[in-house]
Amino acid sequence: MFYLKGAMTGRTKFKGLIAMISLAVCLSGCSPDMTEISEIAMVMAFGIDYDTESRKYTVTSYSVVPSALSAKDSGKLSEWVISAKGDSILEASKNLRSRSGRILIWQHNKFVLVGETAARRAFFEIVDFLNRNRQIRMTSYLLVSEGKAIDKLNDNVETEDLLSNDLLGKVRNEKEWGKSVSQILQDIANWYPNPYRGFVTGRIGISKLPDGSRDALVLNGGAVIDKGKFKAWLDGERVIAVQLLSDKSKWGMLEFARSFEFQSSQVSLFFRVEHQRIDSRCREGKPEIDIRLTLSATMGEIDHQLPLGNPETIVKLEQAASDEIEKLVRESVAYYQKVLKSDILGFSERFAQYYPDDWEMLQKEWGSVYPVMPVSVHAKVKVEKMGMVKYTGVD
């Protein structure tokens, strides 16, 4: 005790000893905040379902526990799925403890799967619960499940990897094909209180393997959430435009493929976005959106020989590719405007920020203005690489 300067008498020594011993009360086993790592079950994903008849929530946790209780076969982990019902999500998640002999640790949770019914009926409560809870990280992904969430969690993964790792890999792969989009809780929490805009998050479903032997979890398409509840499914083709027109974190690394007809050949290119710009304008109270995209493309495959050595062919190919992208974006945006009638790209936020005076007027009739708002799309594609194969270009 270097800080105790000066001589210590027998009495102060004794007092010091007592103080030291009393400190031991705070040690291992006595402190309420302590969680021994050998007593926990790590929740890696959990699902929330809602039953409209009984008006009860079901919370299903997918957790990881060590598979053996002796050190000899340590190193193995096993998956463990339990579920419990309750009148609220909090109650259901507390009721989970009746099934669990271990301390459930939620900090490492990566996915929240919301059942279709739950997303339709109680999306607000779910997001509210997730935001309020201290143990759930805002970087978890929220996915809407086709059918019930509990079925997805009970499903075996093809690769025999942990379900959460498998899903995490699938989310990571989204930027390689673009037909699925998952959102983290943080973004959802930012968007969902806004009554004027909607958003798209991931859609998880089950698809049978071609031979019909096993089910596999798939992330494909998206789920449209509007005005605080689930509105519609979006298929993969329509999701690409969502990625293209979101912020750079989505399109920056995106790589997607399109095939189209060119000079009576079927041409497949894969694209990367170089530059994206969305301008909003308000002329005499009439809102307009102008979308400009610059993309680079690489030749993927052709089913006939083309005179690719000829610069004119390249120019024509680039024109055709630009038309294709413009068509894709224009049709998708029209779909969001006219069919979904949901501002999933957040155009309303642009007007609120850049034209606050006009927005005062606009917001009252946004529901009727949005579907008919003119959106112009300009795409410029530059074909940079033809791939490894070189044709002479002679017809």
Partner 1 sequence: MEQSLTPIHPSALLNAERLQCLFAGSEFLTVRLVKDNNETIVGAVAYHNILVDEKNVIQQFIRKINEDLHQMTGHRDVNLITSLDSLGGGKELRHMETAADLILDAGAAVFIEGLSEAFGFMFPGYETRSIDEPKIEVNVRGPRESFIEDLNTNLSMIIRKLKTPDLKAKPYIIGSQSRTRVMLLYLESRTDSQVVQEVQRRLEAISLDILIVNTQIEELIQDSTYSPFPQLFNTERPDRVVTALNRGKIAILTDGTPIALLTPTTFFEMLHPSEDLYERFYFANFLRIIRVLTLFISLFGPALYIALTTFHLEMIPTPLMLAFISAKAGIPFPTFVEAIIMEVAFEVLREASLRLPRAVGQSVSIVGALIIGEAAVQSGIVSRPMVIVVAMTGIASFTIPSYSTAIAFRMLRFPMMLLAAWSGVLGLSLGLLILLSHLCSLHSCGIPFLEPVDLGRFKDTVKKYILLPVKFRRSANEPSGDAAAKRSMGGVLPEGRNDG
For binding to partner 1 (CB under 8 A), which residues are involved? 1-5, 23, 26-29, 31, 33-38, 40, 42, 44, 64-72, 74-77, 105, 107-108, 110, 135, 137, 162
Which is it for strands 183-184 and 198-208: parallel, antiparallel or unpaired?
A: unpaired
56 CB-contact burial (10 Å; exposed 0-12 / middle 13-18 / buried 19+): middle
| Residue 140: other Cβ atoms inside 10 A | 20
Shortest reach from residue 43's CB to partner 1, in Å: 11
Long-range pairs, 101-104, Cβ under 8 A, ≥24: 102/39, 102/40, 102/41, 102/63, 102/65, 103/35, 103/39, 103/40, 103/41, 104/40, 104/41, 104/43, 104/61, 104/63
Identify whether the C-beta of residue 95 lies closer than 8 Å to the C-beta of residue 86: yes
Shortest reach from residue 164's CB to partner 1, in Å: 8
Shortest reach from residue 22's CB to partner 1, in Å: 12
Residues in the chain, total: 395
Residue closer to partner 1 (CB basis): 82 or 352: 82
Shortest reach from residue 124's CB to partner 1, in Å: 27
Q: What is the three-class DSSP state of 252? A: coil
Shortest reach from residue 123's CB to partner 1, in Å: 26
Residue closer to partner 1 (CB basis): 131 or 194: 131
Q: Which two tokens stand for residue 371?
A: 């579907």
Shortest reach from residue 326's CB to partner 1, in Å: 42
Shortest reach from residue 313's CB to partner 1, in Å: 49
Q: Please, which residues bridge with residue 335 across strands?
A: none
Residue closer to partner 1 (CB basis): 105 or 185: 105
**What is the CA angle 61-67-73, rounded to 5?**
160
Shortest reach from residue 70's CB to partner 1, in Å: 5
Shortest reach from residue 69's CB to partner 1, in Å: 5
Helix axes 311-334, 236-244, angle to 10 degrees: 100
- The type of residue at 281 is R
Residue closer to partner 1 (CB basis): 38 or 98: 38
Residue closer to partner 1 (CB basis): 44 or 92: 44
Residue closer to partner 1 (CB basis): 8 or 253: 8
> Which residues, other chains included, contact 86 with Cβ-Cβ below 8 Å and sequence gap of 6+?
56, 57, 59, 92, 93, 94, 95
Residue closer to partner 1 (CB basis): 104 or 321: 104
Q: Where are the alpha helices (DSSP H) in 25-162?
A: 89-95, 116-132, 149-154
> Which residues, other chains included, contact 296 with Cβ-Cβ below 8 Å and sequence gap of 6+?
271, 272, 274, 381, 382, 383, 384
DSSP 61-88: EEEEEES-SSGGGTT-EEEEEEEEEESS
Residue closer to partner 1 (CB basis): 186 or 263: 186
- The type of residue at 62 is Y
Residue closer to partner 1 (CB basis): 77 or 361: 77
Shortest reach from residue 114's CB to partner 1, in Å: 22
Residue closer to partner 1 (CB basis): 46 or 192: 46
